[in-house]
Amino acid sequence: MSELIERLAHCIEFGKINKASPYPPEMKEEDGADELTRQALDEGISPQDLLSNAFEVGMERVGKKFAENKVFVPQLLMSAKAMNTAMEHIKPFFRAGNVRRKGVFIIGTIKGDLHDIGKNLVAMMVEGSGWEVIDLGVDVSKEKIMEQLDQHPGAAVGMSALLTTTMVNMENSVKEIKEKYPGTRILVGGAPLTMDYCKKIGADFYSPDPQGAVEYLNA
């Protein structure tokens, strides 16, 4: 049973989606995350076990390698695709309340900003680490975030910005969210940001990469 879980974690780490997928070349014709997740469920492995010991482990391994510049965006995207494919099989168990999530994470690219590639990577990594992710997309106003906080009290918030002209919109959003929902954890990121800027605008944490975001949320 644990061998199957390790094979699944390996598929996610290396982005092997299904048997038909030619990537990565060294795993050609082998079962991928799709087939192995179905097999694991058929063999009675619990969805919780799959989430905690295969999906999260695979995403954590690739996330660390990404943070250390050992793999790059395409590899991370393939891993996320493998994880999403596997996740489809366990989604019915989430809906039935049989699988616990670590919390809710609301994420979006800040108002005025349309860049979403980095934000999507963060969302996928956080989801792969066992959180429920509400992705509000791009050009997200503070009102939109607060609507979600009304529906999900205690959720953590993530904001991404890629432009020096839009990162300034974070300050206002952080201030109003903190006033209306004290205690809300706000995480910021994006190429022009720094930890100093994060502190200046009153956010809780800055991460230069998705893995840092995952580690902060899990801690």
User: Where does this chain bind ligand B1M (CB under 6 A)?
Assistant: 73, 107, 112-119, 121-122, 158-160, 162-165, 187-192, 207, 209-210, 213
| Helix residue spans in the chain (DSSP H) | 2-14, 33-42, 47-50, 56-67, 73-95, 117-128, 142-151, 164-167, 169-180, 195-200, 210-218
**Cβ distance to ligand B1M smaller for residue 18 or 166:** 166
In whole angstroms, how close is the CB of 33 to ligand B1M at the nearest point? Answer: 22
**Cβ distance to ligand B1M smaller for residue 72 or 151:** 72
Cα-Cα-Cα-Cα dihedral sign, residues 67, 68, 69, 75: negative
Concatenated DSSP letters for 117-157? HHHHHHHHHHHHTT-EEEE--SSB-HHHHHHHHHHSTT-EE
In whole angstroms, how close is the CB of 122 to ligand B1M at the nearest point? Answer: 5
In whole angstroms, how close is the CB of 200 to ligand B1M at the nearest point? Answer: 16
DSSP-assigned beta bridge partners for residue 106: 134, 157
In whole angstroms, how close is the CB of 41 to ligand B1M at the nearest point? Answer: 31
| Residue of 117, 114, 121, 124 lying closest to 84 (CA atoms) | 124
In whole angstroms, how close is the CB of 218 to ligand B1M at the nearest point? Answer: 14
Residue closest to ligand B1M when measured from CB atoms: 118
**Cβ distance to ligand B1M smaller for residue 50 or 186:** 186
Specify the amino acid at residue 16.
K
Task: Find the distance separating the first CA and the last CA of the chain, reported in whole Å.
Answer: 29
**Cβ distance to ligand B1M smaller for residue 86 or 188:** 188
**Cβ distance to ligand B1M smaller for residue 40 or 125:** 125
